[in-house]
């Protein structure tokens, strides 16, 4: 390739787009040294061309017409940082149709339409990279695709949503309620005015769909990820968990046992000895267990202008290197394993359970009988007086049990006369050797 310059069409000049411009401008010399090419932003797409921007760009580059960017024959690479799903899908498919390579930070799009987009890129011999879509500045997708390519990953557990980790960390450290901390997070800009996608786990589920597709080589749909958010987590759950040695985290869990797969997002009691228990605030972390390598963990900022833009521009560097070598589109590895999802009787986990009982003789015998009938044994038991003292609160941590058996336990507990209220039940991770 004799050309000395690569032209980029930047779609979006918001938080991430601004960072992309800053990094391309600020690191130009390093980028030229690494790629042998100058990387130049030729056009920028925005919604409102009259909006005041945080950085100065040549107004002649800016447009609100997406096709001026996508169909510009001189543009080699599209960087998509506008967000959204359906319209953006059309833009990206059209850009690939035009033979342009694509870098995107869009997890919503890749979780929902990733297979279609990868197929189109492969057909057209184009690159498609989306490192920034999961865990912002942490190069976890590259680690899965390249770093672990010779290993067999059996577990991935991630704190992949900074908003919920901020809320749970604050609740744990300051004793404040979920509602109080959410309000504060919204005031600080850590949570959206409508926090549903974050607090109900949808954002994390999208990221876990992407991680498990790449880590397990199966075509994992969003519908395959079971999902529960943190809006029902109480201060009491968190403090009682702590008493027994656990930190509450919204955990994405992807696990493979004999090629049977489970992927979920749910509030989880993480044992304090597990490295994920110490991840505080808006930070992200992904724990990966490979059969050969053993335990690894990737930690860093999951969002923000420059961390996210670094991931985007690093993808861009890979595209440019591939252009020089003439190998674009050849690195795409489509999922090649058959997807086999576990049933509820194959999903094994330890559980934390908390309920209120009448404080009378024979109560524990009834409870342990139900547990024994479902093959559930106990690792920890805590009993303490509740309110007036006529009742007691019992907190159990079980050994590994199937989800199916635990569902039966909960159903039978709910029917038991001596149990007056089931307060909560959470999955438990950590505290054992893998
Ligand atoms: N922010 C983060 O830390 C972060 C981290 C990881 C991934 N991401 C992903 O990166 C993407 C961008 O996020 P962001 O935070 O940078 O968003 P943002 O600040 O809201 O910026 C979006 C940009 O896209 C433009 N835009 C939006 N819809 C458009 C449309 N239909 N046509 C033309 N232009 C349009 C907006 O134009 P105007 O400026 O004129 O409104 C704005 O410049 C999203 O997919 C997000 O999930 C973000």
pLDDT in tens, 46-85: 999 999 999 999 999 999 999 999 999 999 999 999 999 9
Whether 331 is in the pocket of ligand 1, judged by its Cβ within 6 Å, is no
CA 173 vs CA 281, 300, 427: distances in Å: 10, 20, 21
d(CA 351, CA 252): 16
d(CA 91, CA 330): 22
Centroid of ligand 1 to alpha carbon of 89 (angstroms): 14
Whether 301 is in the pocket of ligand 1, judged by its Cβ within 6 Å, is no
pLDDT in tens, 141-162: 999 999 999 999 999 999 999 9
Q: Which two tokens stand for residue 392?
A: 């007691």
* Residue 269 and residue 125 share a domain: no
Whether 308 is in the pocket of ligand 1, judged by its Cβ within 6 Å, is yes
Whether 103 is in the pocket of ligand 1, judged by its Cβ within 6 Å, is no
Whether 45 is in the pocket of ligand 1, judged by its Cβ within 6 Å, is yes
* Residue 123 and residue 44 share a domain: yes
Q: Return the CATH number at 368.
A: 3.30.70.260
- Mean pLDDT value across residues 93-122: 97
- Mean pLDDT value across residues 344-351: 98
Q: Is residue 333, in this structure, part of any structural domain at all?
A: no
| SS3 category, 153 | strand
* Residue 82 and residue 161 share a domain: no
Best mutation site among 48, 66, 80, 81 for ligand 1 pocket (most ligand atoms within 8 Å of CB): 81
Q: What is the DSSP string of 57-116?
A: --GGGEES-HHHHHT-TT--EEEE-S--SHHHHHHHHHHHHTT-EEEE--HHHHHHHHHH
d(CA 237, CA 247): 10
Query: Confidence class of residue 293 from pLDDT cuts 50, 70 and 90?
Result: very high
pLDDT in tens, 152-202: 999 999 999 999 999 999 999 999 999 999 999 999 999 999 999 999 999
Best mutation site among 105, 190, 306, 314 for ligand 1 pocket (most ligand atoms within 8 Å of CB): 105
- Mean pLDDT value across residues 256-280: 97
Query: Confidence class of residue 333 from pLDDT cuts 50, 70 and 90?
Result: confident
Q: What's phi and psi for 38, nearest 5 deg?
A: -85, 135
Q: Is the pLDDT of residue 388 over 80?
A: no
Q: Return the CATH number at 29.
A: 3.40.50.720
* Residue 94 and residue 27 share a domain: yes
Structural domains of the chain, count: 3
Centroid of ligand 1 to alpha carbon of 138 (angstroms): 19
Amino acid 193: pLDDT:
95
d(CA 36, CA 50): 36
* Residue 227 and residue 194 share a domain: yes
Q: Which two tokens stand for residue 424?
A: 């909560």
DSSP 8-state symbol, 341: B
pLDDT in tens, 24-35: 999 999 999 999
Centroid of ligand 1 to alpha carbon of 47 (angstroms): 10
In 3D space, the residue among 345, 339, 303 whose CA is nearest the CA of residue 137 turns out to be 303
Q: Is residue 354, in this structure, part of any structural domain at all?
A: yes
First CA to last CA distance, the chain = 49
Whether 46 is in the pocket of ligand 1, judged by its Cβ within 6 Å, is yes
* Residue 193 and residue 93 share a domain: no
Whether 132 is in the pocket of ligand 1, judged by its Cβ within 6 Å, is yes
* Atom of ligand 1 minimally distant from the CA of 49: 40
Which of 207, 249, 342, 350 is the catalytic position? Answer: 207
* Residue 207 and residue 147 share a domain: yes
Q: Is residue 57, in this structure, part of any structural domain at all?
A: yes
d(CA 254, CA 268): 13
Whether 270 is in the pocket of ligand 1, judged by its Cβ within 6 Å, is no
pTM: 0.96
d(CA 31, CA 114): 28
Bridging pattern class, strands 348-358 and 419-429: antiparallel
Amino acid 331: pLDDT:
85
Best mutation site among 83, 104, 302 for ligand 1 pocket (most ligand atoms within 8 Å of CB): 83
As a residue count, the chain comes to: 434
Centroid of ligand 1 to alpha carbon of 265 (angstroms): 25
The residue whose C-alpha atom lies closest to atom 27 belonging to ligand 1 is 82
* Residue 126 and residue 33 share a domain: yes
Q: Is residue 206, in this structure, part of any structural domain at all?
A: yes
d(CA 129, CA 133): 9
Q: Specify whether 5 is catalytic.
A: no
Helix axes 235-243, 162-174, angle to 10 degrees: 70
Which residues span the domain enclosing 88?
5-137+305-325
């Amino acid at each position: 390739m004799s050309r000395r310059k690569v032209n980029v069409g930047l779609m979006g000049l918001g938080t991430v787009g601004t960072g992309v411009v800053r990094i391309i401008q600020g690191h130009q010399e390093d980028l030229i040294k690494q790629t042998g090419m100058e990387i130049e932003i030729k056009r920028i797409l925005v919604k409102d061309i009259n909006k005041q921007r945080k950085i100065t760009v040549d107004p002649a580059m800016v447009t609100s017409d997406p096709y001026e960017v996508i169909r510009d024959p001189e543009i080699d690479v599209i960087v998509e940082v506008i967000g959204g799903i359906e319209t953006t899908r059309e833009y990206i498919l059209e850009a690939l149709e035009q033979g342009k390579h694509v870098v995107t930070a869009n997890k919503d799009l890749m979780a929902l339409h990733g297979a279609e987009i990868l197929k189109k890129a492969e057909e057209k011999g184009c690159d498609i990279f989306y490192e920034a879509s999961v865990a912002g500045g942490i190069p976890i997708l590259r680690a899965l695709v390249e770093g672990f390519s010779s290993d067999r990953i059996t577990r991935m557990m991630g704190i992949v949503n900074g908003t919920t980790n901020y809320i749970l960390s604050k609740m744990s450290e300051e004793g404040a309620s979920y509602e109080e901390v959410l309000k504060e997070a919204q005031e600080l800009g850590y949570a959206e005015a409508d926090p549903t996608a974050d607090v109900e786990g949808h954002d994390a589920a999208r990221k876990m769909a992407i991680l498990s597709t790449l880590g397990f080589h199966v075509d994992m749909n969003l519908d395959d990820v079971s999902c529960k958010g943190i809006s029902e987590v109480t201060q009491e759950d968190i403090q009682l968990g702590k008493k027994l040695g656990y930190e509450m985290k919204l955990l994405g869990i992807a696990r493979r046992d004999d090629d049977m797969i489970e992927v979920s997002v749910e509030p989880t009691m993480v044992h304090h000895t597990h490295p994920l228990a110490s991840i505080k605030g808006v930070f992200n972390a992904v724990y990966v267990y490979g059969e050969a390598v053993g335990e690894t963990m990737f930690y860093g900022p999951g969002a923000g202008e420059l961390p996210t833009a670094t991931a985007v521009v690093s993808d861009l560097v890979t595209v440019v290197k591939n252009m020089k070598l003439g190998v674009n589109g050849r690195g795409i590895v489509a999922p090649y394993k058959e997807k086999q999802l576990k049933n509820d009787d194959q999903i094994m986990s330890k559980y934390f359970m908390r309920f209120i009982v009448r404080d009378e003789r024979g109560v524990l015998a009834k409870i342990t009988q139900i547990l024994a009938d479902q093959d559930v044994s106990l690792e920890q038991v805590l009993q303490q007086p509740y309110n007036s003292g006529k009742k007691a609160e019992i907190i159990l941590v079980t050994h590994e049990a199937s989800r199916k058996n635990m569902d039966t336990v909960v159903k039978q507990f709910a029917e038991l006369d001596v149990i007056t209220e089931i307060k909560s039940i959470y999955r438990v991770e950590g505290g054992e050797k893998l």
